[in-house]
Amino acid sequence: MALPQMLSAAEAYLEEAGARRTVLPVIQPADPFLDMAGEDLRRRIFLTESETGKALCLRPEFTIPVCLKHLQERPLEPIRYGLCAQVFRQHRDGDSEFFQAGIEDLDTEDAIAADARALADAAGLVARLRGTGEGLHITLGDQAVFAAILEALGLPGGWQMRLLRAFGQPDALANALNVLSGREAPAVTQDSRVADLLSSGDDAALVAHIEVSMAGSGISPMAGRRPEEIAARLKERAALAATRLPDDALAALERFIALRVPLAEAGRALTAFEGKAEIDVTERIELFAARIEAIRLAGIDPGTVTYDAAFGRPLDYYTGLVFEVGLEGHERPLASGGRYDRLLTLLGAERPIPGVGFVAWLDRIEVLEAGR
């Protein structure tokens, strides 16, 4: 199927799925992406600015623009937004414009049913565009399960946030665990005087040293963070660097991250992990088990889904279920998505608005089909 026909087929599928066709401006405000998207996306945005100096960018994805549109229009009922258009990201191979199609489901209260529907529609759209669902495989993770286990293991709040930010990024997660275990000593600062002052606990002297350093570098305290804020951040980093996780808790966390099982076995595997780690995350496991059943009821064979406890998406706004739909023997996913319940609040919503969505890469599917 050529790309024009694929676009038409995708739009038809989205309409059948009950998604409202939505058109988003190509030029978007850059700040929401710079503030809330993952580092992988932030460094690949095409940036420009308006005549007034406002930071703008070419649309790099659909989720944040849809959420901004939703907040501006304030619909009274849940909506499934259907998107089918180009997005723009910098790539080393020069392929920086590509087509995506997907659905963003906002304000649906039944999160478990909405998650299952998003996953089913992602797989269904890919199968429709390929003309077959044969060979498709789904990888699924859940950041909420990971967060519950971090809390149950008793990690300090700062470390919980660092590990959550590293979720789905194997190198960053491995680095964090090396620091927690003491296998690696992080450098809090390259300034030996700052290191000495941090060790001494002399906050006033630390602030004074930072003030002198800023003045010597020609940096005005009004141009960015104040010396007191910088000192507080350095103290926080030093405290995190000095934290060591007990051996049994570290071993439990590493066992969890290594967990990779068929979805049908995931509930039992998590329960067994909970018992061995001697922690209580029963409520979160029960919610996960309910999601497995909802996925089955949505028509997805659990045998085609793998639960990977360390699997995540490289975007900071995901909070729960995350997934990818791929083809056996091919590395790059054909569709991906997840839940982002905090995003609209961070963008200015006056109340919590749940959200879940996915996109399919039409160009990738076209290339695969051309090679068959």
Summarize the annotated binding site for L-histidine as residue ranges: 61-63, 89, 100, 104, 313, 317-318
Q: What is the DSSP letter of 49?
A: E
State the Cα–Cα distance between residues 61 and 75, nearest whole angstrom.
22
Q: For residues 59 and 357, is the Cβ–Cβ distance under 8 A?
A: no
Nearest to 339 by CA among 360, 354, 352, 324: 354
Q: How many CA atoms lie less than 13 Å away from 276 in the CB half-sphere? A: 14
Q: For residues 40 and 317, is the Cβ–Cβ distance under 8 A?
A: no
Annotated binding site: 61-63, 89, 100, 104, 313, 317-318
Q: What is the DSSP letter of 225?
A: S
Q: For residues 339 and 319, is the Cβ–Cβ distance under 8 A?
A: yes
Nearest to 317 by CA among 343, 336, 293, 299: 343
- Tell me the two tokens of residue 284: 């979160």
Buried-exposed string 277-309: b where 16+ CB fall within 10 A, e elsewhere? bebebeebbebbeebbebbeebebebebbbbbb
State the Cα–Cα distance between residues 301 and 38, nearest whole angstrom.
31
Nearest to 249 by CA among 178, 155, 156: 155
State the Cα–Cα distance between residues 227 and 238, nearest whole angstrom.
16
Cβ-Cβ contacts under 8 Å for 52 (sequence gap 6 or more): none
Q: Which helix (H) or strand (E) covers residue 79, if one does?
A: strand 79-88
